[in-house]
Chain A
Amino acid sequence: MAGQAQENSSLSTVVADVAGGVALALDGEGGSYALSALLAQRDTVALAAIRVLGADVLAPYALNGGAVRGGSDAPDSQVVRRALAAYPPGADASDVSLWSYRGLVEASRAFLPPGGEDWPVEPQAGDTWVRTDPWPKLAHRASQLAALSLPGLAPGLAAGLAARTDDLARGFVRAVRRRDWLQAAGLGRWLVRMPDVPDTLGLEAGLVFVHRMSGGDPRVSLHASAARCFPGGSR
């Protein structure tokens, strides 16, 4: 039990470090981005952090709209391949885990250089919950999958969530009122890409507020930066 808690703690620390680096890259700070340069140690914890953040570790490449320089043996390609191989979703994996894995595979295919070696096949992930979940649960799950709101990833999921824009907007307000800044920021990322967000939500100001209130949480910063970098709605 103590060992598990220690694993969680060290993993959370590395996840926060990597998220902070991605947020800086999205904000245009810290020079050119390289995921492999963010990882202080190429060990199993660093690979696990990539798996937790999913497609977001490649978000700066989506911003540049181009692939990583180098061939399929570029350091970033190698490290993502190792993360995908080390932490595949298990047989009893949740839908969130499956979707997150899919997102990382799709992002790798889109943003990393094509090579001789194929990327893993995306696992099937259930999407019934997008239509049937009550709005608080939908908002929670959508926020966990905010990395999939990057342009071009999971278009079916994005369309399903867009059909429930009002529910996500309700979830955003609820998360803010509960002071759940991470959930609010994740939902904000989805909402900035949706065309029919009600103006009364005050999304732009809300995201600034959430970012400030989070006290510099790197994962919230990452969501806030991504929301600024990848707008898609008609605000």
Chain B
Amino acid sequence: MATELTAPVETAALAAAVEGLLDSAEPEGIYRDTRECGGGLLLAALLLISPPTPRAPKTDAR
């Protein structure tokens, strides 16, 4: 009796699982464009090697 009652539920759950496997979403992933990555690296490098901000020379107040 229990089997008869649960069989339609199991089939419905399996039907949903079938649909899920057939039309599964694309796995999450980070896709980076090489040119964008290269541009980012170049910008970071330029910032690192840039000379320090010029400051006004110290003058003795006395």
Contact = CB atoms under 8 A, between A and B. Distances in A.
Chain B facing A: main interface SS: helix
B20 interface: yes
Interface string A1-17: 00110011001100100
Interface centre among A7, A45, A52, A178 (most CB of B within 10 A): A7
A86 B11 CA distance: 8
Contacts of A96: 22-23
A17 to B, nearest CB: 14
Contact of A7 (B17, B24, B26, B29): B17
Contacts, number: 62
Contact of A4 (B16, B21, B24): B16
B27 A7 contact: no
Given A7-B17, A44-B10, A44-B14, A180 B23 contact: no
B19 interface: yes
Given A177-B31, A178-B29, A144 B23 contact: yes
A8 B19 contact: no
Contact of B14 (A45, A93, A140, A178): A45
B42 interface: no
A3 B14 contact: no
Interface of A: 3-4, 7-8, 11-12, 15, 44-45, 48, 51-52, 86-87, 90, 93-94, 96-97, 100, 140, 144, 174, 177-180, 183
